[in-house]
Amino acid sequence: SFDQLVGINQKIDDALKPIIKVSDEVSATFENLLQKTIDDTLRAPDETGIKQVKIAGDLRNGMTNFRLVFRRYLSVPSADNRQATYTSADALIAQVAAARSQLPVEANIAVDTALNALKQYKMLMSSISEMLQQADQVRGNLQQQSIATAAVADDLAAQQIVSAKKEQNTAVVQLLSVALVVLLIGIFAALLITRQITIPLNDTVIAARRIADG
């Protein structure tokens, strides 16, 4: 029902609050990590520092891309977008795990925190995914009910049109019948009047002839 859909959507909104918080925290972690890596490399430029800057930048960009994929899934909760979101999450988690050994040791705490947060992110995402599927199913049922209701309304409208045509035809027949009766009454009245006039006139003619004949 519509109330059920509203309830599920409210649960999705509530479930999104902690996942948005985790997402913002991970994004901030990668942003700070990139900035710190840049600052360290600028103080002592070398090939290792440059590689670490690239790795930190890739983490930041990977998180940004993942958030975009997840938002697309929220907007269009299709099976393809759902799979793309899980694929993107797994790829990002693997990317962060691989980057840990290539970044400075002092970055390990931040990377581990981000890695744990992303795993939590994925768990929360699974819960939201289930609710999105429920909402989509309820929405589909409502659409089917709406289509069925529209079909019934169309059928009733068609029946009303047929009924109206029948009533119109009946009215025409009744009108013709009344007209025919009126016509017959008129003819009968005309014959009666003619008879009332011609009979006395005929009697008068006969009487006149008798008088004339003596």
Query: What secondary structure does DSSP assign to 147-212, as a single string?
Result: HHHHHHHHHHHHHHHHHHHHHHHHHHHHHHHHHHHHHHHHHHHHHHHHHHHHHHHHHHHHHHHHHH
Q: Alpha-carbon Rg of the chain, whole angstroms?
A: 46
Amino acid at 51: K
Q: pLDDT tens digits, residue range 157-207?
A: 666 676 667 767 666 667 677 667 666 776 766 666 666 666 665 555 565
Distances (CA, A) of 62 to 57, 110, 211: 8, 16, 136
Out of 17-31, 88-102, 159-173, 197-211, the most confident range is 88-102
Q: Quick check: 15 and 128 in contact, CB under 8 A?
A: yes
Q: Which helix (H) or strand (E) holds 46?
A: none
CA 214 to chain centre: 109
**Prediction pTM value:** 0.60
Q: pLDDT tens digits, residue range 59-89?
A: 999 999 999 998 898 888 888 999 999 999 9
Q: Quick check: 33 and 111 in contact, CB under 8 A?
A: yes
Q: Quick check: 38 and 54 in contact, CB under 8 A?
A: no
Q: Quick check: 37 and 52 in contact, CB under 8 A?
A: yes
Architecture of domain 2-154: Up-down Bundle (1.20)
CA 148 to chain centre: 15
- How many CB atoms sit inside 10 A of residue 62's CB? 18
